A = this chain, B = another copy of it.
């Protein structure tokens, strides 16, 4: 974990209110695992006061494959992300990270079935890195990508470049399946009935809940990356709590999304 003031090295607009910021920082880059996030400042002023959590999108590597930087894939949803959209190359942000518990991925030697990545909206951000890592260790990966419209679809090109098969769903039917992304997932599972499939999901809570229900019914493991409002990102403020099963008697307790998460085994969570 490092706290660094970093200059923005690259800015790319990729869709409506969607953009990618690039940073150089070998220390942070070297520690980034798929599912990690950073807390970034959005203003030099006190308005707003808090930093914002953002998943690591891609790790940048030099010719000798050494990590030297990373990128963030951001969608405008409110005041902070709107301020970020206005930033230019050379502007500075405070960046703390990498943070949180990353996805737990099998090593080269561990056998496993197909890895199904299910994502909605900007919840796609962490998954290219997940796919990269899984492919590197020889596992099979398939991506299910949802968004409001064709324009707003994210990461589809990343997956194609990595050679990952992609199924797409849009709320308005402008590309791929017309409806929620869980339907193509459902369809795939029904038609192919892949043995030992492993599920991963990130996106709006209702979508993750739907994937969770599929995982329960089909008895497949599922890791979700959960988004909670965060003040500190490092586990000291207790603002980001989510309910987890406390074991016996159907009781539950709060754990910190930033520290015990953001990636959770979906069965640990209490899905209200």
Interface residues of chain A, those whose CB is within 8 Å of chain B, are 43, 45-47
Number of copies: 2
- A interface majority secondary structure: loop
A47, B42: Cα distance in complex, Å? 14
A46, B79: Cα distance in complex, Å? 13
Q: How far is the CB of A38 from chain B (nearest CB, A)?
A: 23
Q: How far is the CB of A91 from chain B (nearest CB, A)?
A: 10
Closest residue of chain B to A47, judged by CB? B45
Q: Chain B residues near A47: list those with CB within 8 A.
A: 45-47
Q: How far is the CB of A178 from chain B (nearest CB, A)?
A: 40
Q: Chain B residues near A45: list those with CB within 8 A.
A: 43, 45-47
A45, B44: Cα distance in complex, Å? 10
The 6 closest A-B pairs by CB, nearest first: A45-B47, A45-B45, A46-B47, A47-B47, A43-B45, A45-B46
6 A-B pairs with CB atoms under 8 Å apart are: A43-B45, A45-B45, A45-B46, A45-B47, A46-B47, A47-B47
